[in-house]
Chains A and B, each alone.
Chain A
Amino acid sequence: MENRPPLPASRKTPFAKRIWNQRILVLMALPFFLWMVVFNYRPLVGWVMAFENYKPRTGMFGSPWVGFKWFQEFLGDKRFYEVLRNTFAMSFLNIFFGTVCAILLAVFLNEVRSRHFKKTVQTVSYLPHFISWVVVSNIFYTFLSSEGLLNHVLLSLGLTKEAVSFMSKENSFWGIVTVAQVWKDMGWNAILYLAAITAIDPQLYEAARLDGITRWGKIRYITIPCILPTIVMLLVLNIGNLLNSTGFDPSYLMGNDMTINYSQNLAVYAYTYGIELGRYSMSTALSIFNSVFSLLLVCTANLLSRKVVEGGIL
């Protein structure tokens, strides 16, 4: 330890020497660097497929070039814009209600005194996260079908005159899918906020209590401001993921022929007109669009976040 030169001096040493001096750290970072290259950068080579008419038989190096044909195709397709609208709408609803509900759940749970009750609620609320979408969609279909529980209740209370087939109403699809997503992931997302809340210095609360603060005041002036950086960070990451936020599963499994104009999202579009028809190039082109768009979104969100949290997140 005592032989190592002080840090400021190392800045003036040449690059190679600096690496040598920090060889242990570099070595430690190397596996992760390689991991990132192999799994995150190497697949980008596949992007060339988006500019050719890829066929498995001729492979990536033998398929003919087609330029921007695939991009032109989906940008010129009327349905694509419908799909984009659905993707944005569903993702926005999901992020907004998902975040708000998770924060509320975390904050309220934090106020609960009974440890057992708190643990039970927490476990019960995050369990749905582990249920597969196939099961979730079946639960919703059964629950909302015209012979399902909800219709039964509505009919017996006399609130509706005849059974409504909720799953076949295109206007209600975004709502249903948002409820399903919030139900499924609210508890899971709340864990992060709960963790952030436990990191708050208890002295703050104690000081506030001495000043005679109300419970609401405690939430409003201590809890929320203290977890704000966490909230903003998760929001920025979520916005970067806006196009994928409502993934393939909910849209594909909960959607059906009668709601398809409102249920189809980008992932399903890429699947239906790409993979399923063996048009891998088209799927690749869509995924490039998706990646570039997401990158722009995440940068914009980060810029905006600087206004809320000092220094931004990324």
Chain B
Amino acid sequence: MLWNKKAALFLALVMVLSIAAPMTSLAESARPVVTVFDFTEELNQELINKAPTILKMEEDLGIDLQIEVVSGISKEEKMATMIASEDYPDIMFRVDERMIEAGALLPLDDLLEKEGQHVLSAWGGSLNKLRYPGDAKVYWIGSPKNRPEEIADAGACLLVQYDVLEKLGYPAIKTPDDLYKAITDYLAISPDLNGTPYIPYGVWADSWGYNQTVNNPALWINGFTDDSDAYIDQETFDVTYFNTTDYFKTYLAFLNKLYNNGLLSENAFITKYDEFNSQVASGRVLATIYNAGLMSEPEAALRAAGMPERCYARFPITLNEDVKDRSQVYCESYDNGVGISVNCKDPELAMKVIDYIASNEGNVLFNWGIEGVHYDVVDGKRAWKPEVKDAYASDPNYRYQEGISFANWWPMYVGSMKLDDGDFASPANKEDFYKNADDATKKVLDAYGITCWGDNFDTTGTPTPYGYAWTLVIETGSDADLANAKANTLRHSMVPTIVMSKTEDEFNANFDSFVNQLYNDCKINLWEDAMHQAILDRMAIWGE
């Protein structure tokens, strides 16, 4: 009996405690909770929630942020399931028109007037470019780039390993032919990397890698801006599916040449993102035309592994000397940003959070970090501490752990833009680039007589009046959208066949059959018409 009584007492105690425990933890976080979801696949949820800069923002605003990120599934899947369940957090980063169509987002126009002074001043006249064509309201806010900027680093461009350049005496590589020669010359000097064969030309064509490494390089070598899948007549704004054009065919011919000479593996077409990153991080990929921004993590891994000479120099590349590179020409337009959901209990508070990020304070905090911890002010200018600089360059997780310069899609400045105090908003600026670079990088920069990769590029070319075509909105699930999805499946399966053609006749026949199927089976003309209309609608809203 006595034992029973003891047991009962013990159980009662356990029950009381188990009820009390969550109550005490509730009492601790008396600050209002703001739930955040970031649709970014590379973010590290565990680290970012504990990052000192995030904690500082919570302190300043008197709130408790709970950040969740996509994991395990793709951004698209997560978005679709979230829409189906209508279970939205308060603030969502990187949302696009699908969320607007689903009625998940609040229009921000009034909130901006009330609580968004910093956002408004950062955006100025560019706010029009955020308006949703459906009802001309603003639903989300991206990273503002509304001032002319000088670029420190390039976006998508030709990337060549430092070691290749050094061994060949720093040649000028301007065309695919130059590139081909550089790769073959280098392989003659150095046939493998410690016994492992090189991957002479990097391609990963699985899912969105197709756009990055197959479609877009064809845009750059033909001197286009990032119109992605669209070739657009700049007079009439008629749209042609880019993969059907001779411009695209020219690039495929280059890949075909690489393949037939054993410089491109057929594995390239089934390589996935993480696989490609590990290929790059192993130092085996000699050159590629790719988005340099996506290289920062594998490059950090290369430096951490003691192979800084396997990092990449950035160059423009065009078909021949007559074609002018426009790969870095800025055509201001936006396709995603941060929005406030219809489930948000306190939209004004949510807007305060967004406004904080857009303020000068927020810019410094999330780009530079905390003064004394991450940066010091030297001669009136912010400068990262040497240990921060090194850790940032060599530890891929450091940026999330500290919460600095990790989110170039948040509504703050990136690149070489200046804040009201006259100093740069971010360490990724032209002046600091050389200072923050490692010795291997400096050596290559010196050899080409430049101080940052941006110097290699001309950003003064003509921008398009509609921005980048990849930011254009087509109704989700419409016939045009379906045509595009079908075309996407088709090109993923047929382009490898075209590239692996053995003869020129076979190459031409495969390409013709590809174009034929795009129009007859996929009805890609529906998409072309919808894109043409979307351009006209956008230009009407932007009001030239």
Contact = CB atoms under 8 A, between A and B. Distances in A.
Interface residues of B, number: 29
Nearest to B477: A279
Interface stretch (B26-34, B400-408, B452-460, B486-494): B486-494
B83 interface: yes
Interface in B195-218: 205-206, 210
A245 interface: no
A168 B80 contact: no
A277 B265 contact: no
A79 B86 CA distance: 32
Nearest to B265: A146
Interface stretch (B96-104, B311-319, B366-374, B415-423): B96-104
A307 interface: no
B485 A272 contact: yes
Given A56-B102, A167-B270, A78 B77 contact: no
A280 B98 CA distance: 14
Contact of A168 (B101, B102, B267, B486): B267
A272 B80 CA distance: 12
A79 B270 contact: no
Contact of B103 (A56, A168, A273): A56
B284 to A, nearest CB: 11
A127 B481 CA distance: 43
B477 A260 contact: no
Interface in B234-268: 265-267
B213 to A, nearest CB: 12
Given A168-B267, A257-B269, A276 B485 contact: yes
A282 B76 CA distance: 17
B51 interface: no
Interface string A136-180: 000000000110000000000000000001011000000000000
A258 B496 contact: yes
Nearest to A167: B270
A276 B496 contact: no
A275 B210 CA distance: 21
A256 interface: yes
A116 interface: no
A78 B520 CA distance: 11
Given A276-B76, A276-B80, A279-B482, A165 B267 contact: yes
A277 B476 CA distance: 6
A272 B482 contact: no
B12 to A, nearest CB: 32
A278 interface: yes
A146 B271 CA distance: 12
A261 B493 CA distance: 8
Contacts of A280: 84
A129 interface: no
B521 interface: yes
B79 to A, nearest CB: 9
Nearest to B492: A257
Contact of B205 (A167, A257, A276): A257
A57 B206 CA distance: 32
Contacts of A167: 270
A256 B102 contact: no
A85 interface: no
B86 A277 contact: no
Contacts of B486: 79, 273
Interface string A51-83: 000011100000000000000000000110000
Q: Which of A56, A145, A282 has the most CB of B within 10 A?
A: A56
Contact of B489 (A55, A260, A278): A260
B266 A168 contact: yes
A155 B489 CA distance: 34
A277 B485 contact: yes
Contacts of A275: 77, 80
B336 to A, nearest CB: 16
Contacts of A261: 493
A16 to B, nearest CB: 43
Contact of A278 (B80, B205, B265, B496): B80
Most chain A CB atoms below 10 A, which of B80, B86, B101, B481:
B80
Taking each of A55, A167, A277, which has the highest tally of chain B beta carbons within 10 Å of its own beta carbon? A277
A145 B84 contact: no
A260 B269 CA distance: 12
Given A256-B206, A257-B206, A278-B80, A272 B477 contact: no
Interface in A167-221: 167-168
Contacts of B86: 56
Contacts of A145: 267
Given A78-B521, A257-B269, A257-B493, 19 more contacts: A79-B521, A165-B265, A168-B269, A256-B269, A257-B205, A257-B492, A258-B266, A258-B270, A261-B493, A272-B489, A275-B77, A275-B80, A276-B77, A276-B485, A277-B481, A278-B80, A278-B98, A278-B477, A282-B477
Interface of B: 76-77, 80, 83-84, 86, 98, 101-103, 205-206, 210, 265-267, 269-270, 476-477, 481-482, 485-486, 489, 492-493, 496, 521
Interface of A: 55-57, 78-79, 145-146, 165, 167-168, 256-258, 260-261, 272-273, 275-280, 282
22 contacts: A55-B102, A56-B83, A56-B84, A79-B521, A165-B266, A165-B270, A168-B270, A168-B496, A256-B206, A256-B270, A257-B210, A258-B270, A260-B489, A272-B485, A272-B489, A275-B77, A277-B477, A277-B481, A277-B485, A278-B83, A278-B98, A278-B477
What 8 A-B pairs come out closest when comparing CB atoms? A57-B103, A257-B492, A256-B270, A279-B477, A278-B476, A260-B493, A56-B102, A278-B477
